[in-house]
Structure 1
């Protein structure tokens, strides 16, 4: 009898990584002057909040922490409260503009790379404890407490920390073979993938948008859930009967509307940016920002403002500032003013020589007041 050969068992490992978890911690400090009167190194904490399965809070040092170089500054930190935990996270520190009724905030500090937060016990072989991260020089006392400061009004200060928790991959299946029972795999699909498929297949679509002759099928229930403007448009007896909508806006191109729809369904515009050059991406971000403001898609508006803020240069900052002023995008406007105020002399000449500077000077003179005050603080 000849030998019978069977194929070897195949080892298999499956893992998946959940999307980042995001949250915003808001810390309102009333009676700021009384807290400032406390000694250096004394801190106050916000209430705890769960983001990505971990507990976080804001730790504020109104009179500076105990380090000598922190004297004269307010220090703010993001603190990990979960015990024996280790997690990577991105964070941003914002101050709320009190003069605008708390509707606007200014980005003061942004971590450029994920920070490792750890509260593991070093004695047990874990890494050195890093309970939190932040900035010991968030703002000078003189600048924060000046009468022109928009952040401290009626002895009240509001700090926001935007947290993005980077989740680690999760291994759900190690080895398997043909003789073993099939292991149950974790779901590989996410909600955004399902909604992306829904947009692409058009199954159940009940409205068609026409943009410069190009048609886009969509679902009114999804649009209404994501945009107050769409919600108002499709509510009521007349709105519910709409099956075709023609968008007349001259500045709305098919590619821009398609990117808007993609974000509404998936919280992402990455496919719309694929293959575009640097200048084309800037133009697309600008047009998407206009669309986001028009349809009140707040998440897309913030994404566009951040993308344009990160791509500023001497040739474009003036024109971007014009756009920010026209659309009342305070985050982007502050970033442009900060860029111009902090630029070196020869780059400032390039800004003045750019095409957008003349339009800015003629149409939005109030911006120059902000710029003058910012330069004065920096000098």
Structure 2
């Protein structure tokens, strides 16, 4: 149970029905709804694997638990669909002796099932012989989602991905409990479609239960063009258009997905599945961060907020050393070193953080607790309240660059740093390209630097970049990189 509390997942040994039942009892005792549903699903999967005797065994285990009505109904329906086999088991005899009321429910299901079939009981047959079975259509649950995928510097990107079959992938997004992504082929899906672009919707994480059927429908929107998607886990779409139809050298794809997930189909129409909600541990940890002062905070970070010390205010951020130890050991190490250097012997550490803006440090703590970055727009608004002469693109680039610096400083390089690099690539414009190149050089990020150089080499972009303030502030090393890249891209005849 503690493993679930820390990870939102079950250990491998919980796949055993006996362990799942024990965890189910604990989940009821401590009101852990997701854990309870996961245990119910494990028990139901044992019924699907082992048949009617397992269904009767589960009924004996969960009898009297009002929170398990869904699982109980599933097992009753399973027994009703194989009544003759059920009556021959030891579990049936035990159920008859200890739970007569539950047995009456099963008998009612048997009557309903046989009336629907319009015949008497099927003749008994050994497990290896063929059986007739009936199935019932059940209305489906539908999840809908929308994902916008923007490709900046499209002409340059298309030149880099000039071979048929080269694709650009969007980030993954979730619809219906599964992850999807868009694959975009600037030069066509294959040699037969090299004159067209191609966009595919790919199912990244498929259904774990093969008895669940899925249908997918949706729409790609590119500019003003609309095309329907066919059914399937991967759906392709082809559309002809010219480069003249692209605005500002970028392309935006809007993918709408209807993920239609049908229920289990079995011999009785009561058969379905135990639906477990998606993990929400990040939400709980975010609540822990926001209420840290009331929920066991033992570390306080102090930062100056303002242009200079005379007019600066002090902001405090509370955290938990256990969370920092697991998620940001470099930050905790810096805090411990500062605490050791002070003479105060108090339980609660109060530490000054310098060289980083308060809004950036708060976003770093948000990542440490939730594994996600807060929306960039919100950070920019907090950092520059009121009117500002700085353009939105410049503000976004500066903020993402400062987050990248924070990720480097505290060694959050596996996830936070790539996320910051992706933000800088997504927001690339001629106005901020040179500044982003300087960020890439300063933090030694070769992939980000290569993206900047490719973007600035795109037709019509370099002239706009040269006119920006960021270009005038480029270091000699960055300028040399630009010249070398342009020389390599356009060799002299």
With the length of structure 2 as denominator, give the TM-score of the two structures: 0.40
Instruction: Name the SS of the counterpart of 1:244 in structure 2.
Output: strand
Q: Please report the RMSD computed on the Cα atoms of aligned residues, expressed in angstroms.
A: 5.4
Structure 1 runs not aligned, ≥5 long: 1-14, 21-39, 42-50, 91-114, 121-128, 135-163, 171-184
Q: How much has 1:119 moved relative to structure 2? A: 5.2
Partner of 1:141: none
Instruction: Name the SS of the counterpart of 2:194 in structure 1.
Output: helix
Counting helix residues as a fraction of each chain, which structure ranks higher?
Answer: 2
Q: Which has the higher contact order (CA 8 A, sep 6+)?
A: 1
Q: How much has 1:165 moved relative to structure 2? A: 12
Show the 5 A alignment for 1:48-63.
Answer: none
Corresponding residue to 1:67 among 167, 192, 199: 192
Which moves more between the two structures, 81-90 or 349-358?
Answer: 81-90
Q: How much has 1:310 moved relative to structure 2? A: 2.3
Q: How much has 1:53 moved relative to structure 2? A: 6.4
Structure 2 runs not aligned, ≥5 long: 1-140, 147-163, 166-174, 184-188, 208-212, 221-226, 239-254, 262-274, 305-313, 341-345
Partner of 1:303: 419
Distance (Å, rounded) in 2 between the aligned partners of 1:17 and 1:301: 32
The answer to whether the 8 Å contact 2:144/2:256 transfers is no
Counting strand residues as a fraction of each chain, which structure ranks higher?
Answer: 1
Partner of 1:356: 470
Partner of 2:373: 268
Show the 5 A alignment for 1:1-379.
Answer: 65-67=190-192, 69=194, 80=203, 84-86=214-216, 120=232, 130-131=234-235, 190-202=280-292, 203-212=295-304, 213-230=314-331, 232-233=333-334, 243-249=349-355, 252-266=356-370, 267-270=372-375, 271-274=378-381, 278=392, 279-297=394-412, 298-344=414-460, 347-364=461-478, 365-374=480-489
Partner of 1:95: none
Q: How many residues align?
A: 257
Instruction: Name the SS of the counterpart of 1:211 in structure 2.
Output: strand
Q: How much has 1:327 moved relative to structure 2? A: 0.6
The answer to whether the 8 Å contact 1:85/1:118 transfers is no
Q: How much has 1:291 moved relative to structure 2? A: 0.9
Distance (Å, rounded) in 2 between the aligned partners of 1:19 and 1:322: 37
Q: How much has 1:262 moved relative to structure 2? A: 1.8
The answer to whether the 8 Å contact 2:177/2:278 transfers is no
Per the alignment, do residues 214 and 351 of structure 1 end up closer, same or farther by CA in structure 2, a change over 3 Å counting?
Answer: same
Which moves more between the two structures, 271-280 or 350-359?
Answer: 271-280
With the length of structure 1 as denominator, give the TM-score of the two structures: 0.51
Distance (Å, rounded) in 2 between the aligned partners of 1:16 and 1:262: 32
Which has the higher Rg, Structure 1 or Structure 2?
2
The answer to whether the 8 Å contact 2:297/2:318 transfers is yes
